[in-house]
């Protein structure tokens, strides 16, 4: 007990530090969240519901759901393939591959959109060809999907790779020796071991996919009712000084963020043992 006190701060110091840390969190994190909700209902609940159920807002919600429904499964399949290759095998250039998978995290979202404009836009490499074939990528849904895939690319893989590396290869090798094929090995041996990490990766991927702003804003063209996702709808309403409308849509996205955080923490709380060591807290 004596050692304990020698190795910690005095009671007063402890509470000062706790208070300071909580003040930082309240000021930077809780207050913005509270501001969104307060502004959304500033003119009463009926106004709020009218804003949320407006035609443009509903089509923005629909588009956001469609984009996430394509981008998340695509990155899920990729993430599983990439972590299988990286964690279960040795090959030259592996560390470079892992670095490249994380690459989108260090690219500005605006640039993630720009690269597709340079590829598929009218001034881009494939632009004239696409125009001749009556296909639109930029200022249309395919461009929004591509930009979203770019920015959410690493989420699943980076959640799985450390865990699958930690778990080693013995179980898969045993399954293979006993004659199980690749898919059977994955679904009956590997998946049960990594399902919670996979879920965490999908949750984070989905939150980013639905909330992405910069990359999508560059490729969307902001056509109301057609190429506006929810975050873009927030911007448009805000710039039109429809503050209640903007914050009403923003509150839906904030709710999505809170649900994601709650689900992620529930996984960590109840199934923390089955996440990679670095991911537990």
Partner 1 sequence: MTRNKRTIPGFGVTLGVTLTYLSLVILIPLAALFIRAAGASLADWGAIITDRRVLASLRLSFGGALLAAAINAVTGMLVAWVLVRYRFPGRRLADAIVDLPFALPTAVAGVALTALYAPNGWIGSLLAPLGIQVAFTPLGVLVAMTFIGLPFVVRTVEPVLADFDAEVEEAASTLGASRRYTVWRVILPAAAPALATGFALAFARAVGEYGSVIFIAGNMPGVSEIAPLLIVTKLEQYDYIGATVIAAIMLIVSFVMLLVVNALQKWHRTQMGEA
Residues 230-249 that bind partner 1 (CB under 8 A): 230-232, 234-235, 238, 243, 246-247
62, two tokens? 């629909």
Binders of partner 1 among residues 90 to 149 (CB under 8 A) are: 91, 97, 99-111, 114-119, 123-125, 146, 149
Among 51, 220, 227, 260, binds partner 1 (CB under 8 A): 260
Kindly indicate which of the ranges 55-63, 129-137, 167-175, 194-202 contains the residues binding partner 1, using the contact rule CB under 8 A: 167-175
Look up tokens 């006993």; give the residue.
178
**What is the smallest separation between the CB atom of 240 and partner 1, expressed in angstroms?**
13
Binding mask 33-72 for partner 1 (x = CB under 8 A): x-xx--x---------------------------------
C-beta closer to partner 1: residue 30 or 191: 30
Nearer to partner 1, 238 or 274 (CB): 238
Q: How far is the CB of 150 from partner 1 (least distance, A)?
A: 6
Instruction: Report CA torsion sign: 216, 217, 221, 224.
Output: positive
Q: Is 88 in the site for partner 1 (CB under 8 A)?
A: yes
- Classify the C-alpha dihedral 231-237-242-245 as positive or negative: negative
Binding-site member from 142, 186, 242, 274 for partner 1 (CB under 8 A): 186
Whether 150 contacts 173, CB under 8 Å: no
Single out the residue of 17, 58, 65, 223 in contact with partner 1 (rule: CB under 8 A).
17
Choices 22-30, 49-57, 128-136, 159-167 (CB under 8 A): range interacting with partner 1 = 22-30
Nearer to partner 1, 25 or 58 (CB): 25
Query: Alpha-carbon distance 37 to 252, whole Å?
Result: 9
Give the Cα separation of 222 and 36 in Å (integer).
23
Torsion of CA 64, 70, 75, 77, to 10 degrees: 150
Q: Would you give the DSSP letter of residue 154?
A: T
Residues 164, 83 contacting (CB under 8 angstroms): yes
Containing 265, the helix (H) or strand (E) segment is helix 243-271
Q: Report the C-alpha gap between 198 and 191 in whole angstroms.
A: 9
């Amino acid at each position: 007990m004596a050692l304990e006190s020698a190795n910690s701060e005095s009671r007063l110091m402890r509470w000062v530090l706790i208070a300071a840390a909580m003040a930082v969190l309240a000021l930077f994190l809780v207050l913005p969240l509270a501001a969104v909700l307060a502004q959304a209902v500033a003119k009463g609940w009926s106004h709020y519901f009218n804003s949320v159920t407006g035609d443009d807002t509903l089509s923005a919600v629909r588009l956001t759901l469609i984009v996430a429904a394509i981008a998340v499964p695509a990155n899920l399949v990729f993430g599983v393939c990439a972590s299988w290759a990286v964690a279960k095998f040795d090959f030259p250039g592996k560390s470079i591959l892992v670095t490249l998978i994380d690459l989108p995290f260090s690219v500005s979202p605006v640039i993630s959109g720009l690269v597709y404009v340079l590829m598929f836009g009218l001034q881009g490499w494939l632009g004239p060809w696409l125009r001749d074939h009556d296909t639109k990528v930029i200022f249309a849904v395919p461009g929004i999907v591509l930009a979203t895939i770019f920015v959410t690319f690493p989420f699943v893989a980076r959640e799985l790779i450390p865990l699958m590396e930690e778990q080693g290869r013995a179980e898969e090798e045993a399954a293979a020796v006993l004659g199980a094929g690749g898919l059977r090995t994955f679904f009956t041996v590997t998946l049960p071991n990594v399902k919670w990490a996979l879920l965490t990766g999908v949750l984070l991927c989905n939150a980013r996919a639905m909330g992405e702003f910069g990359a999508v804003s560059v490729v969307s063209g902001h056509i109301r009712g057609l190429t506006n996702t929810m975050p873009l709808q927030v911007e448009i309403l805000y710039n039109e000084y429809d503050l209640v409308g903007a914050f009403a849509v923003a509150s839906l996205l904030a709710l999505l963020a809170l649900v994601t955080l709650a689900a992620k923490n529930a996984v960590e709380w109840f199934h923390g043992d089955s996440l990679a060591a670095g991911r537990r807290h």
